[in-house]
Structure 1
Amino acid sequence: MLATLVAVVDADGHVLYANAALEDALGTSRRSIANTLFQDCFTEPALLESALSGARGNEFAALRYDAWLKRVSHEALPVHVVVAQTESKGEVVVELLPLEQQARQEREERLIDQAQANKELIRNLAHEIKNPLGGIRGAAQLLQMELESRELIEYTQVIIHEADRLQSLVDRLLAPHRRPHVVGDVNIHEVCERVRSLILAEFPKGLRVVRDYDASIPEFRGDREQLIQAVLNIAHNAAQALAERIAAGDAQIVFKTRVGRQVTFGKQRYRLALELHVID
């Protein structure tokens, strides 16, 4: 009636007796276990063989170690093994204490600790990014006040807008539970123009960004900053793919907007949709 898994084996490891708990754990009958080598029931048989060798040489009264017990149609079971001599000569008792719950708890604790460490790392990184942002924005504002060229002022405005966007991103990282998505009216062409300015600022020579807009597209509801980030990621990938053409001076990316009709998203059909193409 013991809940502990118990086997009695001879000095070589042949099973002389197995209790009902061990029978259930292995998923096989005692009759089929009898006279088989018990070490074959483990993923690492050598550990039990070494323990039995020590028992034969009277090197210990009891030996403990952790192992994995193989089971029929189930994953291996982590167990704590206790090998002890008996009063009957040539017989050894092997007790197995399942560690499944303990192993699961340890895994969960490790995952929680890892998640906490990652969260702390992100917060520290966000603080490190936040500190110089104010200086970058302030320097760009001072520089803008000294400039007279409209083209150069556009570049300082890009710096200021991107510093503000990074500030917003850092704030989200520092307090993700407080800041919801900012949903408002979005003009897709304003998004494209912002991305175009950023790409041309990064690749000022050898790259043209061509506009092919459908001016009839109306505003829609969305998160403008996240949409800018998404389009910027795609456009940036396109520019990187054109590295050789940029070096040659004849690279081109096209921003193309159209109205899509009868479009299916996620098994749902929409009468009208926006198509935005970033073409390299």
Structure 2
Amino acid sequence: MLAGYGYILEKLMKEIDKYTILENLHTAVVLLDEHLHILYLNAYAEMLIGISAKQIINISMKNIVANSPGFIENVQKAVAEEEQSCTIREQSITFVSGKSVLIDYTVSRGNDGNIIVEITQIDHQRRISKEEQFFAQSHAMHNLAKGLAHEVRNPLGGLRGAAQLLEKELVEDDLKEYTKIIIEEADRLQNLVSRILGDSKYVVKKVHVNIHQVLEHVRQLMLIDNHKGINFYTDYDPSIPDVCIWQDQFIQAILNISRNAVEAAKAGGMVLFCTRIVRQAVIGVHRYKLAVKIDIQDDGEGIDEEIIDSIFLPMISSRPDGTGLGLSISQSIVFRHGGIIECESKPGCTVFSITIPLEDDLGERQ
């Protein structure tokens, strides 16, 4: 009798191990019966389709894949011909959730007669390659900034010293105001250089903050100098928990993007701040159970297609008077939070999306 229970337990543990492996794959796996009803889908498949497993178990795959008859036909063909496996490459499909993706997929039949569909998102692989390129560029820019900081530090000391000597020689208070500004700005730049070079005196800890407080702070700053009469709108998800960030740097990242949005928006146009929770978010090669997505949208003319893939590089700007540093700096800051900034643009609607993982650790940065 005990031997029988042992066999059942061993079989159960094997099943648990199998599904644990499936749940941690970066490939979508969907199990169908012979009538194409969904019996199981892993966590990555939930994320890809955009609907939870509880909602679509026992639902026909025909009702999940909308306006993509080729996908269903290929699955049915594989079933009818009882092929061991069939692989289709680079097919665009649209799910009933409205999400469209470019995929490779393999259809195979299991020993129990059920159908296994393995789906790889091709545009996601391309996105990973682009993100890896961004990370490399961010690292190179950080090294460049360190090199420039070394060159700037010594002249700053001389500039401050000369301003102090000049202040002692001046009699008029009005003129002393100018030297005071020079000294204050030299001190500010000196502090910035020290942070870039990693001076331990300027190490700042991460803090848990409400992301909407950060966005509202930036929005208030933008309203102070709202000479174009821009209308600012918000669409916040109140369920988002506090995020763990380097607050001053993250504010700077949001501010840079918001300023660009205001510059791009039409006079009297709009800028929208939107927040959402993202489940099973994939950033680079890492997957996170929960992430925060911040969208900053404007109604401007859009970004030229020729430069949209390189707008996060230094010295690349869509404006004739732009320096091309704001977005590059913002991307570097967000990378240091384990996140990424992405952009989609068309005439009348440009959206910069910041995605960062929700985490509880309190780290340090220099």
Q: TM-score, normalised by structure 2?
A: 0.31
Structure number with greater Rg is 1
Q: Which structure carries more relative contact order (alpha carbon 8 Å, separation 6+)?
A: 2
